[in-house]
C-alpha cells in the first residue's frame, strides 16, 4: 500500500469511506431473468443492496434523450440490431419494458437522490447533454470516458450549465497511457500535470499481459490525492487481494458480495 492515502476533496467521495464499491451497471441478481444491466430495476437493486455508488453508461437516443445504456446497439441486451442513436426514447421504452425498464439520466438522478453516479460518456453526441443533465447534481456525479475529449466536453457543459461544483472526474485512456509512461521514467512534473485535473484513475488490473495496477501507480496516485478504482472485479479473492494492495475502490457486477466485504474493511 502507498505510504500516503488520498484525501479527495470532491463531495462525490465524501458519501462514504474507502474502500468504495461501485455497482457496475447497477445490480443484476444471479439467476434473474426479468431485468438487465443499466435498467431502472438494476439500479434499484443496487440501491436496495446498500450501494452508495453506481457505475453506468450514457448514450443519447435519436430524439435527444440521454439514457443509461452501455452498448452502441441494442442487440446484446434487447435483441434488436439497431443503434441506440437510431431509436426514439419511446421505442427503447417498449423494448426495455420487460427487462427492468429503460432509465434516463434525469430519472436516475431524481429517483435515486442518495446515490453517487459514476457516468461513462459512451458517444460524442452524448457529452454535452450529459453535462447539462448532471449540472444540478454535480456534487454526486463523477464523469468519465475512454475519450478525454468527451470527458472534457461533458465537464465543460456541466460548468456552463451552472453546476455549483465541477463534477468529479477520472482520466481517459490517453491520460492514463501518458501517466504510465511518465511514472515509469519517474518524470515527476509530467505526472503532476497529468493528475492535476483528475480525482480518480479507473482502470483494469492489467491490459493483456501488461500490469496496470502496480505498487508504483498506487503510490503515485495517492501522493497526488487521486484514488485508484479497479474494474471489473467479481471474484471475492481478487477483491481481497486488490484491497490488500491498497486500491480505493472496486467496480463490480457483484455489489452484493463486495459491499459486506468492504464494510468489514472499513470497520
Range 31-36 contact pairs with CB under 8 angstroms and sequence separation of 24 or more: 34/98, 34/99, 34/100, 35/99, 35/100, 36/77, 36/78, 36/96, 36/99, 36/100
Please confirm, yes or no, whether 70 is among the known catalytic residues: yes
Strand pairing of 116-121 and 53-60?
Answer: parallel
Cell 460548468 sits at which residue?
Answer: 159
Q: What is the pTM of this model?
A: 0.95
Query: Tell me, what's the pLDDT at 7?
Result: 61
Residues in the chain with pLDDT < 70? 1-8
| Degrees, nearest 5: CA angle 247-181-155 | 65
Query: Tell me, what's the pLDDT at 32?
Result: 86
Please confirm, yes or no, whether 24 is among the known catalytic residues: yes
Query: Tell me, what's the pLDDT at 3?
Result: 41
Query: Tell me, what's the pLDDT at 9?
Result: 81
- Please name each of the domains of the chain with its CATH number: 12-169+230-266 (3.20.20.190)
3-state secondary structure of 261: helix
Catalytic residue among 24, 59, 137, 229: 24
**Cα 98 from Cα 90, distance rounded (Å):** 14
Q: Per the structure block, which three cell numbers stand in for 203?
A: 482502470
Query: Tell me, what's the pLDDT at 6?
Result: 59
Catalytic residue among 10, 59, 70, 222: 70
Amino acid at each position: 500500500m502507498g505510504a500516503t492515502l488520498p484525501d479527495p476533496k470532491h463531495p462525490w467521495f465524501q458519501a462514504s469511506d474507502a474502500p468504495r464499491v461501485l455497482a457496475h451497471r447497477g445490480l443484476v441478481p444471479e439467476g434473474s431473468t426479468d431485468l438487465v444491466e443499466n435498467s431502472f430495476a438494476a439500479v434499484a437493486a443496487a440501491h436496495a443492496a446498500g450501494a452508495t455508488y453506481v457505475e453506468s453508461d450514457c448514450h443519447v437516443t435519436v430524439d435527444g434523450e440521454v439514457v443509461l445504456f452501455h452498448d452502441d446497439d441494442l442487440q446484446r441486451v434487447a435483441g434488436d440490431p439497431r443503434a441506440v442513436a437510431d431509436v426514439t426514447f419511446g421505442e427503447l421504452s417498449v423494448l426495455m419494458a420487460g427487462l427492468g425498464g429503460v432509465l434516463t439520466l434525469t430519472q436516475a438522478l431524481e429517483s435515486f437522490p442518495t446515490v453517487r453516479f459514476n457516468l461513462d460518456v459512451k458517444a460524442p453526441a452524448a457529452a454535452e447533454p450529459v453535462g447539462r443533465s448532471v449540472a444540478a447534481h454535480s456534487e454526486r456525479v463523477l464523469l468519465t470516458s475512454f475519450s478525454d475529449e468527451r470527458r472534457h466536453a461533458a465537464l465543460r457543459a456541466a460548468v456552463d450549465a451552472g453546476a455549483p461544483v465541477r463534477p468529479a472526474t477520472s482520466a481517459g485512456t490517453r491520460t492514463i497511457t501518458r501517466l504510465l509512461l511518465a511514472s515509469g521514467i519517474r518524470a515527476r512534473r509530467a505526472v503532476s500535470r497529468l493528475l492535476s485535473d483528475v480525482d480518480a484513475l479507473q482502470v483494469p488490473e492489467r491490459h493483456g499481459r501488461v500490469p496496470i495496477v502496480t505498487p508504483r501507480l498506487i503510490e503515485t496516485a495517492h501522493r497526488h490525492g487521486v484514488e485508484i478504482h479497479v474494474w471489473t472485479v467479481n471474484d471475492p479473492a481478487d477483491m481481497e487481494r486488490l484491497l490488500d494492495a491498497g486500491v480505493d475502490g472496486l467496480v463490480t457486477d457483484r455489489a452484493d458480495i463486495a459491499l459486506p466485504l468492504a464494510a468489514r474493511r472499513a470497520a
